[in-house]
Amino acid sequence: MHKNCGSQGQRHKTRLRINAKAFFMLKPEQKIYPMEEKSPDDKSISRQVIEMITVANEYCLFLEKAGQYSRQDILRYFQKVAPLLYLKGALLPAVPVNDPGVMERYVTEEQWETVFKALREQFKEIDVYYTLDHNNDSVESSLADNMADIYQDMKDFVMLYQKNTAPARQNAVEQLRDLFRWHWGPTLLSAMGRIHQVLHKEVIDPDLLDEDHGWLID
């Protein structure tokens, strides 16, 4: 189809296939079809973006079925996928946005509530935990709330990217990159810390834990 792309274009397409192996394991209705390459300089279809959307989509699919898994399954899954999400988010390239008006959010309050309630039902007594803010005051947090918030940012990203136009891709990537810096990035780190504490509490020095709240003391 791209007769003028030559071997360089073929190598690029091959590289994308290799780096997104999970893409081909999805059902047809779950697949993401990036738009055909128009320019080798189009950062919205770079390897970093394809890898990000692959992991983000997998995270969304898992959380949408959270009620079918045990608490331990969910914790172990997040322990493994969270570092990948953070790494891929940190590697996202800056993408120029030509039409900011294309930006959309898709996850409704009802959809967020469905994911949140399914997680909270599984987490029960381990859901609420406490962290310290910049003033060293304790702040109540919720593991289910944090994971549902991350879900919302990932799902909005995936849905907008699937619109399959250059402006949609640009907005999807740049929005996720911006949210990584101040929203889902810090939220993910907070949830990772809580899950690490829950999974490995038996080997953590008890002097570092508060008996009432169970949060790690800085």
pLDDT digits (tens, 9 = 90+) for 203-215: 876 666 655 445 4
The C-alpha atoms of residue 181 and residue 178 are separated, in whole angstroms, by 6
pLDDT > 50? residue 163 = yes
The residue with greater pLDDT, 122 or 40, is 122
Instruction: Tell me the CA end-to-end span of the chain in Å, nearest whole number.
Output: 57
> How much is the pLDDT for 206?
67
Burial (CB < 10 A; 0-12, 13-18, 19+), residue 196, is: middle
pTM: 0.79
pLDDT digits (tens, 9 = 90+) for 15-71: 333 344 444 344 434 444 444 455 768 999 999 999 999 999 999 999 999 999 999
> How much is the pLDDT for 151?
98
Structural domain contains residue 153: yes
Structural domain contains residue 1: no
Average confidence score pLDDT of the chain: 83
Structural domain contains residue 217: no
Structural domain contains residue 122: yes
Q: Report which of 55, 46, 57 is spatially closest to residue 92, judged by C-alpha positions.
A: 46
Boundaries of domain holding 51: 6-127+142-200
Structural domain contains residue 209: no
Structural domain contains residue 63: yes
> How much is the pLDDT for 208?
62
The C-alpha atoms of residue 95 and residue 74 are separated, in whole angstroms, by 33
The C-alpha atoms of residue 150 and residue 144 are separated, in whole angstroms, by 10
Structural domain contains residue 100: yes
pLDDT-derived band at 108, boundaries 50, 70, 90: very high
Whether the CB-CB separation of 216 and 209 falls below 8 Å is answered with yes
The CATH code of the domain that includes 19 is 1.20.120.1550
pLDDT-derived band at 2, boundaries 50, 70, 90: very low
Domain count within the chain: 1
